[in-house]
Amino acid sequence: MNRRDPLAGLHVFMAVVEAGNFTRAAAVLGVTPAAVSLAINQLESELQAKLFNRTTRGVSLTQIGQGFHEGSEAGYRSLLQAREALGETRGEPSGHLRISALHMAKHLIGAPLLEDFFQRYPGITLEIRYDDQLVDIVKEQLDAGIRLADALHPGMHAVQITPPLQCLLVASPHYLARHPAPRSLDELRQHACIRFRFPSNGQLHKWPLHDGRHEVKLDVPGRFISTDTQAVIEAARAGVGIAHVFIRERVAADLDSGQLVEVLPGSCQPLPAMWLYYANRRHVPPKLRALIEVLRDWKQPLPR
């Protein structure tokens, strides 16, 4: 490393801080872990200070490293913004886009959408951090977040990216052959049910249902409980019991093939729409505008 180049290694340093280890940072940067390690060693040699504590599980900042990060981050972000602004003048959105999203948004931001996004904007890299709890994107230095309409921070600008989400109750034909389908909400209490537990707060999800006259949040008995929505669906396929599915599209193929059957059709209350939200500011980075454009293009009613 050259002493006349004080910025050498800074990009790698920031990538390691954000990624938490050399391997993930290397994947983000498109280089080998050995190259990342060499760049950090050169930076530490130049600064004559140890920046990271290294373990087999990852890395953490030393006290000196923390001070270096706090002192250099604002200037580093300004440099990135200047590069993005230059790209905007050329009409080429670019840069690293970091967002937070609900786990259930994985089905929304799937392979077809990502393929479309990267074909349109090859200069943008996208990093998604999945969190079910509400995230302060300003404090976490994220570009945007994806949440349901009823869980947004005040003062944020938001763009609707889905219609209201259609939910449903499902079970396998094998289960229903052994346990006749319920004819009312009250009869659900007599069935084996598959429950979801929110990993963010540990609470069990109460099923939001209605019988045509009244809306209820049903606390049904749980035969199987999981913090993973995919595990809930797989348990229903295996005949464990009746499950509440957040997004109908996730089991559309199962319904078409007969692997799953809808129980008490029309009894589930829909969830609010998903929105992409970001700090309310005059200048929206081109990379974020690009993602909003693609999400809007893909916004369409989900299959019933």
- Per-residue pLDDT of 184-204, as tens digits, reads 999 999 999 999 998 878 899
- Crossing angle (nearest 10°) for helices 33-47 and 10-19: 120
Measured between alpha carbons, how far is 224 from 247 in angstroms, rounded to an integer? 20
Domains and CATH numbers, the chain: 10-85 (1.10.10.10), 92-161+273-298 (3.40.190.10), 168-263 (3.40.190.10)
What is residue 25's predicted lDDT score, i.e. its pLDDT? 80
Q: Which pTM value belongs to this model?
A: 0.63
Strand partners, 95: 124
What is residue 62's predicted lDDT score, i.e. its pLDDT? 93
Residues of the chain with confidence (pLDDT) below 70: 1-8, 28, 81, 83-91, 280-282, 300-304
3-state SS, the chain, equals CCCCCCCCCHHHHHHHHHHCCHHHHHHHHCCCHHHHHHHHHHHHHHHCCCCEEECCCCEEECHHHHHHHHHHHHHHHHHHHHHHHHHHHCCCCCEEEEEEECHHHHCCCCHHHHHHHHHHCCCEEEEEEECCCCCCCCCCCCCEEEEECCCCCCCEEEEECCCCECCEEEECHHHHHHCCCCCCCHHHHHCCEEEEECCCCCCECCEEEECCCCEEEECCCEEEEECCHHHHHHHHHCCCCEEEECCHHHHHHHHHHCCCEEECCCCECCECCEEEEEECCCCCCHHHHHHHHHHHHHCCCCCC
What is residue 206's predicted lDDT score, i.e. its pLDDT? 94
- Per-residue pLDDT of 208-230, as tens digits, reads 999 888 899 999 989 999 999 99
- Is the CB of residue 271 less than 8 Å from the CB of residue 104? no
The residue behind tokens 């580093």 is 76
Handedness of CA 279, 281, 285, 288 (dihedral sign): positive
What is residue 8's predicted lDDT score, i.e. its pLDDT? 65
